[in-house]
A and B are shown apart, each in its own frame.
Chain A
Amino acid sequence: MHRTGDLYGQFETLEQQKESATLGMWTFLITEILFFGGLFLTYTINRHTYADVFSFSSRTIKLSWGAINTVVLIGSSLTMAMSVWSAQVGKKKLVTIFLILTLILGTVFLGIKGIEYHDKYVEHHIPGASFDMYFCTNNPGACNLTTEELAQERTELKELEDKVGGPVAVNAHSQLFFSLYFGMTGLHALHMIIGAGLLLWLIVESMRGRFSPRWNTPVENVGLYWHFVDIVWIYLFPLLYLIDRH
């Protein structure tokens, strides 16, 4: 199908094209909800079955990074919304600026996620052959933890063992937690990376001045996607970081 200006050949009018694209994006997001839904269900059931081990494992993740990331991501939603607004009112320069800001914030998020993953790698909390919940307590100094923190962890591990029946179970069940942690945040990060790619494309198009009050559906739709990915994080953060932290 050929394209005349902004209008693709299968459509009669720009309105029809816009309506189709928007409906398509919403439909896609519904699919995404169910895609993440499978993971959320798996998490919820295991969280219920292994409540104690899950809350212990959750406490070994640093709260600060997660909290900072939540703020960063909410900020990026704001800049994204601003760029959609700028496109709608025809401020072409601002569109580009806000898109770039969104991209920067998204990248900061991914960077921080990288730091967190690296911490988990150092602590041997990555599921697989070398997974070991006792690595830090057995090798003081290898992990970035204070003596008090280590002592605290030792007592908690002891209590857990009594509850669930020994270190093997502790390791198995916390490995479940971290499988889900990496599965969920990994899938989320993958969505962020795809989103960053989309932003890059929008930035190039926007610098060419393609978005106007008449036609800005791509900005709007990537915006929808970006907000969706943010909302997923808004659920992930309490589920994974805030269990039992008062």
Chain B
Amino acid sequence: MSTSPTTPAVHQLPEEHYLNSTYGLRSWLLTTDHKRIALLYLASVTFFFFIGGIFATMIRIHLLTPNGYLVTPETYNKLFTMHGVAMIFFFLIPSIPAVLGNFLVPLMIGAKDLAFPKINLLSWYIYLVGGCFVLYSFATGGLDTGWTFYTPLSSVYSNSAVTPAVIGIFINGFSSILTGLNFVVTIHTMRAPGMTWFRLPLFVWAQYATSIIFILGTPVIAITLLLVGLERMFHLGFFNPALGGDPILFQHLFWFYSHPAVYIMILPAMGVISEIIPTFTRKPIFGYTFIAASSIAIAVIGFFVWAHHMFLTGESTYAALAFSLLSYLVAIPSAVKVFNWTSTLYRGSISYDTPLLYSLGFIGLFLIGGLTGLFLACLGLDIHIHDTYFVVAHFHYIMVGGAVMGYVGGLHFWWPKITGKLYPEFLARMAAVILFVGFNLTFFPQFILGYLGMPRRYHNYPPEFQVLNVMSTAGASILALGYLLPMLYLTWSMRYGKVAGPNPWPATGLEWRTPSPPPTENFDVTPVVDWEAYDFKNRPDLGLTQPSGPALSPAHGDD
């Protein structure tokens, strides 16, 4: 079942690589190497993941009992708000693009770096400055508006530190924009000879689609939050009905970004899954063009569904109808991907290594998350489940079950490339299973709670909901263990792990054709690509024994 290394030979780390080519704090803080910047991001998003995690823990402990003794209602409001802000804006949105994308896009297309290395570093600093503002808000009064900043609560009535928080998120937006801009240009102009658009790894297509959203969506949330900030500081009335403004306009502007933003979170994870599955089935991915095109389709259609968050605001019936229909449409490209992944698995020579376990988890959880999205997009049903725990469960299935699983799976998959070391396989598989179990125990009960009528964002609940809430909290503690384990053994492996060699799985991408860890310039000579993506058959350099099993024979002429 498990992979045998390409060659039985003992590997050695390359003498000089991007991690040891220069030393000292300056060489990191002023680096323009996309691989080092990726690691700077890795450290910072992990930090925010911790912060968000602490808030989540407190929420779950508070909800153990119907009347919650841990915190006051005001503090409870702050907890779920700060949890959302930290996790969405400072962890999940930058996670895969800025960490894995930064590291991998140039490697995958055979470039020496991104097109604008200095702008890449700048975007990390912008992220930090934005992060500092938000931490300042957390530390001086907190934030109690919900991560959605609905007006006029956020712009007039809230007594918490809204202004520094919106300034922080405003600033942070430019970090996303610059990352997206860098990726778009890099993918257009920096591809190695022979790396045509349709030979690009699907991860790169996913990053491209994500970058489109970064570029088109992020400026809108930036200007919107700027207006909220101005409204609050100078008592203006853009979104304040008391002064003639329009609070619904705020919601439109907010969701015009924030629905596409949910695809910022999920698309890159889909890209990760599209890399892992062919590698561990030893098969070219089924329906390459469909997966690539569906990423773009999701990015585009995703811009036209935002008002499904506002069915209950009294928007016109016809508008609601259109947005409901469009929301159903966006599920099609998502389903296309799921079908293609499962078709790739079919009759593949599967090895259940850790990254694949995460991918299988992803498929199942994303499926549930996506399908319940359709429940919510159904006008009649949404009246019943809007603003209940059903919604909370829906988006956690997608964002945590989908996106975070993809991120952690991707970290495992490329860890040998990033650090040159292998992680302990057994522990890693255990952690994947623990995460899967913990996740479902945490969030599945929330579907039921929501369906039974427990509203979201309340600090207390009727006693009959206690059993399900206790289950959820118990699951959360298992989940926490599941996250802690990888943090520990991955860190451990940096020093003590076995040396991985250039291509331990083996996988087909260009990033695996250079030493692990790669040299600062990525490739000793600019690579020339003369093979199709995920083509295991015509790649003797992978060292796969030929012919090997049904996967490599053209038994069912896919693609």
Contact = CB atoms under 8 A, between A and B. Distances in A.
A170 B448 CA distance: 50
A104 interface: no
B185 A175 contact: no
Interface stretch (A36-44, A61-69, A135-143, A196-204): A36-44
Interface stretch (B107-115, B263-271, B280-288): B107-115
Interface string A215-241: 000000000000000000000000000
Contact of B223 (A16, A39, A173): A39
A32 interface: yes
A34 to B, nearest CB: 4
A38 B215 contact: no
A172 B237 CA distance: 8
B243 A176 contact: yes
Interface in B192-244: 215-220, 222-224, 227, 230, 234-238, 243-244
A131 to B, nearest CB: 9
Nearest to A169: B244
B116 interface: yes
B526 interface: yes
> Do most interface residues of chain B lie in helix, strand or loop, or is the interface mixed?
helix
A179 B181 contact: no
A13 to B, nearest CB: 10
Nearest to B225: A38
A27 interface: yes
B236 A45 contact: no
Contacts of B262: none
B271 to A, nearest CB: 20
A10 B112 contact: yes
A56 B223 CA distance: 26
A175 B236 contact: yes
Nearest to A174: B244
Interface in B89-120: 111-117
Interface in B248-301: 249, 253
Interface residues of B, number: 40
B177 A31 contact: yes
Given A24-B116, A127-B236, A169-B244, 5 more contacts: A1-B112, A10-B113, A20-B189, A46-B246, A179-B237
Contacts of B216: 30-31, 34
Contacts of A34: 215-217, 219-220
Contacts of A183: 227, 230
Interface in A145-192: 169, 172-173, 175-176, 179-180, 183
B244 A176 contact: yes
B539 interface: no
A40 to B, nearest CB: 10
Interface in B506-559: 526
Contacts of A11: 115, 190
B245 interface: yes
A121 interface: no
Given A24-B181, A31-B181, A50 B235 contact: no
Contact of B224 (A19, A32, A38): A38
A42 B417 CA distance: 48
B244 A172 contact: yes
B220 A1 contact: no
For chain A, give the interface size range.
Answer: 35 or more
A38 B115 contact: no
A114 interface: no
B220 A37 contact: yes
A201 to B, nearest CB: 15
A1 B114 CA distance: 10
Contacts of A41: 249, 253
Contacts of A175: 236-237, 243
Contacts of B181: 24, 27-28, 31
B189 A23 contact: yes
B235 A129 contact: yes
B238 A179 contact: yes
Contacts of B340: none
Interface of B: 32, 111-117, 177, 181-182, 184-186, 188-190, 215-220, 222-224, 227, 230, 234-238, 243-246, 249, 253, 526
Interface string A44-62: 0110011000000000000
A34 B174 CA distance: 13
A9 interface: yes
A39 B223 CA distance: 7
A38 B112 contact: no
Contacts of B184: 23, 27
A34 B257 CA distance: 11
B151 to A, nearest CB: 12
B470 to A, nearest CB: 44
A61 to B, nearest CB: 18
Given A24-B115, A42-B249, A172-B243, A30 B215 contact: yes
Contacts of A32: 219
18 contacts: A10-B115, A12-B526, A20-B115, A20-B188, A24-B181, A24-B182, A35-B219, A35-B220, A38-B219, A38-B224, A39-B227, A45-B249, A46-B244, A46-B245, A46-B246, A49-B246, A176-B237, A179-B238
A128 interface: yes
Contacts of B115: 10-11, 20, 24
B111 A42 contact: no
Nearest to B221: A38
Contacts of B224: 38
A172 B223 CA distance: 22
Nearest to A8: B117
B189 A16 contact: yes
A38 B244 contact: no
A10 B114 contact: yes
Contacts of A10: 111-115, 117, 190
Nearest to B115: A20
A10 B121 CA distance: 15
Contact of A20 (B190, B227, B235): B190
Contacts of B235: 128-129
Contacts of B188: 19-20, 23
A176 B238 contact: yes
A41 B238 CA distance: 12
A42 B248 CA distance: 11
B177 A9 contact: no
A23 B234 CA distance: 38
B342 to A, nearest CB: 36
B117 to A, nearest CB: 6
